[in-house]
């Protein structure tokens, strides 16, 4: 089994003892991404759509670092503090994944790290 840590300054640093992403046997496992600005580590200001776009930019940076892109995503899991944000997040989701979106789970949670309102984790299959 080949296993490699994937890390980039174009995505937020880990906020705990974990890797931004792990690549193993062609599979990229991306840790939960928050709407954090990579350069500052601060949460993005604005509405839930702005926050979702930042999360997807962070995921995209990790995909790119591993040699992939959004089309390589096969599974995502959305964590929302307020399920009322679901429709707005779906709009942004469709912006980044317009064709053949990956399988997905979504759930409302009581609280997220750094009191973020949204987080997404993802799995991609790279050639």
Tell me the CATH number at 85.
Answer: 3.30.1330.40
Instruction: Answer positive or negative: Cα dihedral of 108, 52, 56, 4.
Output: negative
Determine the average pLDDT of the residues in 81-106: 97
Are the beta carbons of 121 and 113 closer than 8 angstroms? no
Give the CA distances from residue 89 to residues 3, 20, 38, 50, 95, in Å, rounded to whole numbers and listed in that order.
32, 22, 20, 9, 10
Summarize the confidence of residues 98-118 as an average pLDDT: 97
Q: Where are the beta strands (DSSP E) in 58-114?
A: 73-80, 103-108
Helix (H, G, I), strand (E, B) or coil at 33: strand
Segment 70-81 mean pLDDT: 98
Q: Whole domain around residue 30: which residue ranges? A: 3-125
């Amino acid at each position: 089994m080949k296993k490699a840590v994937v890390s980039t300054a174009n995505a937020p640093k880990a906020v705990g003892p974990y890797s931004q992403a792990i690549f193993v046997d062609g599979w990229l496992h991306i840790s939960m991404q928050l709407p954090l600005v990579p350069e500052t580590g601060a949460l993005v200001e604005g509405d839930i759509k702005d926050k979702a776009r930042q999360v997807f930019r962070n995921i995209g940076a990790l995909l790119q670092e591993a040699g992939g892109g959004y089309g390589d995503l096969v599974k995502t899991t959305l964590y929302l503090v307020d399920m009322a944000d679901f429709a707005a997040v779906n709009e942004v989701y469709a912006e980044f994944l317009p064709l053949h979106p990956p399988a997905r789970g979504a759930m409302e949670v009581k609280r997220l790290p750094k009191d973020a309102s949204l987080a997404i984790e993802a799995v991609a299959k790279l050639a």
